[in-house]
Chain A
Amino acid sequence: MSCELTQRFVPGYLDGELDLVRTIELETHLKSCAACAQELENQQALRDALRRGSLAYVAPAALRERIQSSLGASTAMKDPERAIAWYALPNWRWAAAFAVLAVFSVTSWQLVSGLRGPSNDQRIEAEVFASHVRSLEANHLMDVASTDQHTVKPWFDGKLDFSPPVEDLASDGYPLVGGRLDYLEGREVAALVYQRRKHFINVFVWPDASGANSARGMESWQGYNLIRWSRGGFQFWAASDVSAPDLAEFVRLIQSRVSPGSK
């Protein structure tokens, strides 16, 4: 083995990442080459200095507690019985958005649970409202900003295991302004962002296993409206603070563009 190759392989040798054949060749070379042996010693010395210095940081105990209680808060969001733990929530970025949601989930469960009990749909509904509020508050409305559906749709390729239908409704007064990845129901979903004057509409899209074409009525909460429907093998949830008639019109327009049979 040449000096040049040896010098190149010394780090891998020290890191235990060199294969057996090269290890033997390198060790043979080191025995007969003082310069390369010196290089190995230097690198060894650097490693020893770094490890001797015990430079790794250890997490403060308070951080563990903070994380545990914020996990508790995030769990309480989905477990209505545990919602009391919310008030122990520490001061962090999403606190405002989640606090709003906590109030929502508690009241909605109190109001509705007597009638039909907390369902899967209600949980998704709460998540959709939370995602909508968060996208506006956290300045994270879009990962890809584009009014061109042919830019937005390919952007999702490779980021999702499905290709969401993307329609531009600019000619109808609801221009597409972008898209982003979001998380609902423990999975990655597409969020398409439309604008109506100064207001934004988030449309969350993910595959619908049932394959049914259906539509549900409007849900409202604190000035936000939500409409969900299934079409063409996808479920859609549209959330916005635009007026209920505007949102209904928007949904009708989208529905008319997405073919009921296409995937």
Chain B
Amino acid sequence: MLETARRERFEQTVLPHLDAAYNLARWLTRNDQDAQDVTQESFLRAFRFFDGYQGGNVRAWLLTIVRNTCYTWLHQNRAPSSDEVFDEEIHSAEISGGASPELQVLASADKETLRRALEELPEVFREVLVLREFEGMSYKEIADVASVSIGTVMSRLARARTRLRQALGAALGQES
């Protein structure tokens, strides 16, 4: 059957990127059950869009769908009070000052502290770091997934790292 062949092709091409899809969803939703639901919905959407997929970078194509599904989900499910309204100008101003933590502090950061610091970053910063550091994506791929320019990817990554370092410095400063 045609449909069965299409599904087999989909499973061979797209399903191998399940971990990448779940990882992004898990970092954006910040919990396992929601990440699973969002990932599943993303795969069904991807399956529906599959005929429109023109070849090329499957992982970036899939992660674009995952990212969009995540943001739709976040928009629908997040309580208005916890909604982090993000303004690049305001947020970029606040990170210009402040000392970066010492090397030793970063070296001593344990997994749980790192996880919490990363989870507390605004989504636009969290996603570029996740795609860059965990998926090893190029700036171009990240730009495609996040629908922004390469320049924006660069500046977001720089700010994301600065903020993460500051957060880790604050979390670990007292202990060291």
Interface residues in chain A, defined as those with a beta carbon under 8 Å from any beta carbon in chain B:
8, 11-12, 15, 17, 41-43, 45-51, 53-60, 63-64, 66-68, 70-72, 74-75, 78-79, 81-82, 92-94, 183, 186-188
Contact = CB atoms under 8 A, between A and B. Distances in A.
Given A57-B27, A67-B43, A187-B51, A75 B36 contact: no
Nearest to B51: A186
Contacts of B23: 56-59
B146 interface: no
Interface of B: 1, 3-4, 6-7, 10-11, 15, 18-19, 21-23, 26-27, 32, 35-37, 39-41, 43-44, 47-52, 100-101, 103, 106-107, 109-111, 114-115, 118, 129, 132-135, 138-139, 154, 157-158, 161, 164-165, 168
Given A71-B11, A75-B7, A92-B40, 4 more contacts: A12-B139, A42-B165, A59-B39, A70-B44
A16 B32 CA distance: 32
Contact of B107 (A49, A183, A187): A49
Question: 4 tightest CB-CB pairs across the interface, nearest first?
Answer: A186-B51, A59-B22, A56-B134, A45-B106
A89 B49 CA distance: 21
Contacts of A94: 44
B139 A17 contact: yes
B109 A12 contact: no
Contacts of B109: 49, 53
B103 A42 contact: yes
A94 B45 CA distance: 11
The interface centre, meaning the residue of B10, B22, B52, B165 with most chain A CB atoms within 10 A of its CB, is B22
A59 B18 contact: yes
B106 A46 contact: yes
B40 A70 contact: yes
B149 to A, nearest CB: 14
Given A49-B109, A56-B134, A57-B23, A11 B15 contact: no
Contacts of A45: 103, 106-107
A56 B27 CA distance: 9
Given A56-B134, A59-B39, A186-B51, A75 B106 contact: no
A81 B1 CA distance: 10
Given A15-B132, A55-B118, A59-B39, A183 B48 contact: yes
B53 to A, nearest CB: 10
A124 B31 CA distance: 38
A134 B52 CA distance: 21
A63 B164 contact: no
21 contacts: A11-B154, A17-B154, A42-B100, A49-B107, A53-B111, A53-B114, A53-B115, A55-B115, A56-B19, A56-B135, A59-B21, A59-B39, A60-B22, A70-B40, A71-B11, A74-B44, A75-B4, A79-B3, A183-B48, A186-B52, A188-B52
A247 to B, nearest CB: 27
Contacts of A57: 19, 22-23, 26-27, 35
